[in-house]
Structures are given as structure tokens and as C-alpha cells.
Amino acid sequence: MSAGEELAYPHELILSASNRSLNVIEGQYRIRTKLLANLLNFVLKRKREKIKIERKEDPTLLILASLTSRSPTSLDDRISEYRKKLNELMKDFQNTQSETAYSSFIDFLKEGIFLHILCKEIRGSTVFPKKDISKFADILDYRENSLRAVFSAIQIWGTQKDDAIPHSIVFEFTSFKDEALREAVIFLSYVLAVDYPKSKRELLVSHYMLVRQVVNELKEVVSQENLADPVLENLFKVAIALFFCGYLRTLRLPNDEKTHYIDEILHLPSIEYSLKKTYDEVASISLPHIQFKVPLWILLAIDSILLVLHWYNEIYLPLEISQFRIKFPTVNVPVFLFIAVLISVFMLFRLYKLKGNILKNFRRGTIE
């Protein structure tokens, strides 16, 4: 496998979220939940539904709706509305210095972070221009170190460098706890690992730790009915972030590093399961009209038995071929040896194609 070749694998979480999304879009759920479900469907399958929004004055909802809309121009208007409202909230806080005004500003800012990632990944637009980021970061108090680190990460995202990224980002990502920014950190830790090779190890550790934490948390959730809207919103956001990282398609990292981290750090049951399933599929043959798969090791055993039988008895059976009124003379054929050779050739062929088939099935995954 060459270093540049991409390994892809399905992620059960994304698929579960995807399966749920249709029910959510059609069911009795909040507009935000429906919009996130629609967005997941859109990024995964390019399918979109029309969702009516009652609260036209909420720019976060309008941005989510615009991302799946066919009109690309509307998104920029919505982003401008978001920025305008954010500036108003910032001024409110600066004028009043009240705690409620501050929390309004922070909550709205945090909502914008994930929207920024969505806009940039889907449409190439940015919610936070670089000049604004430092302006907002100046207001943040000491409790918002995670948010400050996320802002720094957004600023350097997309600018590949040979340097290591600032230690404050790595430190905050490693000890990350703010749930409102979790999806953003899952995504940013991954993409920065690609951009900044010197910090790759630390960033990927943070990424996989968060992925493991989220998957462990949500794997119990996905099987439950009647989930509350905030839980579903969380699920859809995580699924979108994971999808952007490349789970289900192709990861953005060189393959040897990915497999290393999958083996050493991730140990996700879903991946182990997928690997096992793919191997079982590829390293066996299925007989036509019989729902039974013969693994390669059984073929090898049969091959050996046939060879032993041939060596022990040297049985030659007469073979007469009579076709189209032409008769061939009777020949004595070593039947066991003949079958053993046939099986060996077949097995050699399957082994030769094994690597390619594993990759092919692994990429295709369970979405069939």
C-alpha cells in the first residue's frame, strides 16, 4: 500500500444518525433538530428536504437552512445577519457589563463556531473573518480558554506550516471539556493534524480520545427511541463532524499513520467489527444456491487430504469423453491430484486478490 493511498471505513455512528435523520425530518421535532438532520442527509447523500422556519429572526437557523438551499447567495446574507447580531450582543455586554449579556454573547458565539466549520466545509464561506476573531477573543474571560483555543485553531486552519502549532491549542484540546464546542474540536484537531505535521501526534491523540468518548457516550443513545431534541442535535452534529473528518469516506491522513492510530489508540469496537467482517467476506468462497460460505482454511485442509489420498493410493480412474459423436480413448486420470491442483490454483488466485478485495469491501463498508 502506498503512503498516499487512502483507507476508508464506515462508522456506525454516522450511519445510525443518518438512519434517524429521515424520521426526524418527518416527525414532531424542533426546527433546529430538523435542520441538522437535513444537513446530515445533505452532506452524506446530497438529499435535501424543504423545512419551514417560523423564527425568521434567528440567523443561526437561517444559516443551517441556507447550507442545504439551492441558492448559494442567500448564505452570505445570513452570515452577515449573524455577524450583525453578534456585534450587537457584544456591544450590549460592553455597555452593560452584565452577566446575562455576557452569557448571551458567549452562547451565540459558540453556536457560530460550528456554523463556521459547516460553512467553510460545505460552501467555502467563513462566519468569522480573521479580523473579527481577535476582537471577540479580547472580550473572553478566564473561563473561556477552550473557546479562545478554538478561535486560535480556526485562525490557523487551512494554513499548512512546518512549525508546531501553539502549545495553548494543544493543551486546551487535550484537556477539553466544553460540550458546546466538542464537535468543533473533534474536527479541528483532525484537520490541524494534517496541516501541522510537527503537532500531529498530540492533535491526533486529542482527536481520537474525543471520538472514543463521544462514541461511547452515543452508542447507547442511538438504539433508544424518543430521544429529546438536544440529544438528537448533538448526535447529528457529531455525525457531521466525523463525516467531515473522513470517516465513512476517506480519512485525510496518510494510511500508515491512520492504521497505526487505529491499532494503538482508537480501538473502536465498530472498526474491529468492520475489519473482521470484511476479512470474513473476502477470505471465503460462497457456493452457488447454497447459503454457506467456505473459508479458505477449509479449502486448504481439503486440498491437503486429497494430496494425501493421492499419495497413499495412487488411484487412477478411467475417463472417457464422448461428445458430438466423437469418442476419445479411455485415459487413466489421477482424480484426487487433479482436484487438489484445481483447488490450489483457485486459492492462489484468491490470495493474490486478497489485499485488493479487503480494501474494496472495507471502503464500500456496510452502506450497500
Partner 1 sequence: MNSENYDTTLYVASVPGKIIPSRAEVRKSLWEHFKEFADEEGLSIIEEEWKQWIVYSGTQVSFRVMDVPVDKLYFLSFQPTGNVSRWGRPANEKAATSVLEFCNNLGSEIAIPLGDLVFKRVRLSDEDSIDISNWEVTCPLSHPATKSSLGDFLRETGQTRYENIFLSVPKKNEFHIFTQTFFKGIEPFPQLRNILSNFGTVKGPRSMMTAKEFGEKLATRVKEKSIFVFLEEESLLENWYENFKIFFDSSHIPTQYIDEKTVRNKLPRFAGVRANLLLEMLTKMGKPPIILQAPEEIFINDGFLCLSDVVSTRQRLFGALFTYSRQGLGPKEEVQIYDDIEFETPTGYSLEMTAENVDLLARKIHKLIGRRLKIDILLTKRWKEENIEKLIEMLLENKIETEKVYYISSRTSRFVDEYLQESINYRSCRYPYKILGKRIAFLKTCTEIRIYPNLFSLYIELMWPKNAQITQGDLEKILWLAKKRIYRIQEFHVLKNAEPVWIFRNLRKMYLGKIRERLTIPLRLLI
Residue ranges in contact with partner 1 by CB under 8 A:
28, 30-31, 54-55, 57, 88-89, 92, 96, 98-101, 103-104, 107, 220-221, 224, 226-231
Q: Shortest CA distance to 59 belongs to which of 35, 41, 43?
A: 35
CB nearer partner 1, residue 110 or residue 207: 110
Q: Which H helix or E strand runs over 319?
A: strand 317-319
Q: Any idea what DSSP says for residue 157?
A: T
CB nearer partner 1, residue 30 or residue 249: 30
Least separation in angstroms between residue 55's CB and partner 1 is 7
Contact 183, 241 (CB under 8 A): yes
C-alpha cell at 135: 476582537
Least separation in angstroms between residue 98's CB and partner 1 is 4
Measured distance CA(243)–CA(116) in Å, rounded: 16
Q: Which H helix or E strand runs over 203?
A: helix 200-222
CB nearer partner 1, residue 100 or residue 330: 100
DSSP letters for 160-183:
--SSPPPHHHHHHHHT---GGGHH
C-alpha cell at 282: 473476502
- In 97-199, which ranges are continuous DSSP H helix? 99-123, 130-139, 145-156, 167-174, 182-195
Q: Shortest CA distance to 85 belongs to which of 105, 114, 110, 99?
A: 105
Measured distance CA(190)–CA(208) in Å, rounded: 9
Measured distance CA(122)–CA(241) in Å, rounded: 12
CB nearer partner 1, residue 12 or residue 172: 12
Contact 178, 146 (CB under 8 A): yes
CB nearer partner 1, residue 49 or residue 229: 229
CB nearer partner 1, residue 55 or residue 364: 55
CB nearer partner 1, residue 71 or residue 223: 223
Least separation in angstroms between residue 147's CB and partner 1 is 17
Least separation in angstroms between residue 164's CB and partner 1 is 37
Measured distance CA(198)–CA(213) in Å, rounded: 25
CB nearer partner 1, residue 30 or residue 277: 30
Measured distance CA(233)–CA(239) in Å, rounded: 10
Least separation in angstroms between residue 216's CB and partner 1 is 13
Measured distance CA(79)–CA(111) in Å, rounded: 12
Least separation in angstroms between residue 21's CB and partner 1 is 17
Measured distance CA(109)–CA(118) in Å, rounded: 15
